[in-house]
Amino acid sequence: MTAPASDGGPAGDRGAEDRAAAGKPLPLGDEDLLAILEEAIADERAAQEKYRRGLERCADPAACEIFEQLLREESAHEKALRARYVEVKKRIGLQSAGRG
Q: Using CA atoms, how far apart are residues 65 and 63, in angstroms rounded to an integer?
A: 5
Q: Using CA atoms, how far apart are residues 100 and 92, in angstroms rounded to an integer?
A: 15
Give the pLDDT confidence of 40-84 residue by residue, as tens digits: 999 999 999 999 999 999 999 999 999 999 999 999 999 999 999
Model confidence at 100, pLDDT cuts 50, 70, 90, reads very low
Delimit the domains of the chain by residue range. Answer: 30-91
Half-sphere exposure of 97 (CA within 13 A, CB side): 1
CA distance between the termini of the chain: 60
So what's the pLDDT on residue 1? 46
Name the packing angle between helices 30-57 and 61-91 (round to 10°).
160
- Global confidence as pTM: 0.68
